[in-house]
Amino acid sequence: MGLSQELRSVPNLLSLLRLLLVPVFLWLLLADYLIWALVILALAGASDWLDGVIARKFNQVTELGKVLDPAADRLYIFATLIGLTINGNIPLWLAVVIIARDVMLLLVYPMLATHGYGPLPVHFLGKAGTFALLYALPLLLMADIWPDADFVILPLAWAFAYWGIALYWVAGFIYVNQVRKLLSK
């Protein structure tokens, strides 16, 4: 399947739409249109799930999709971390710990490319960590929108955040180990 054909697949179009909405989401978040930001974030999460279902069910898994989908996930995580940190909803350490893992991988991936390897397959722990973070961050935003429900929302949000961080880092070390093994062949 050629690149233009891959771009026209429904899952990839959904991923592209998600990518295009990242700056809109961040602007809404920073401009204090929190409910609209939450709506965009929820739609992005739903379309992330939907594009995966469609890709698998209709055999539309593509190399482009394997790059676009996680890129959209990362950008929403980064945008949410940036917005919630600037707005004072989350402590800076949370953003630093999550972003540091991706910086670690950014330093490792060029080594793969220089040896002729593409991106590593996504590990289920990485998916689980991303899943947990994609629940934690909207919940942290919801706590700001509905402060009277903090007693319910915040424990859930922080539970997902801590699990997400742990799984995210474990998966990161697995990826680094995979790179080390590949390059030592």
Does residue 11 lie within any of the structural domains?
no
- DSSP secondary structure string, the chain? --HHHHHTSHHHHHHHHHHHHHHHHHHHHHTT-HHHHHHHHHHHHHHHHHHHHHHHHTT---HHHHHHHHHHHHHHHHHHHHHHHHTTSS-HHHHHHHHHHHHHHHHHHHHHHHTT--PPPPPHHHHHHHHHHHHHHHHHHHHHH-GGGHHHHHHHHHHHHHHHHHHHHHHHHHHHHHHHHHHT-
Q: What's the mean pLDDT in 75-80?
A: 93
Q: What is the pLDDT of residue 1?
A: 61
Q: The pTM is what?
A: 0.87
What's the domain count of the chain?
Answer: 1
Does 96 reside within a domain?
yes
The answer as to whether 102 is a domain residue is: yes
Does residue 125 fall inside a structural domain?
yes
What percentage of the chain carries pLDDT values higher than 70?
98
The range of the structural domain enclosing residue 130 comes to 89-185
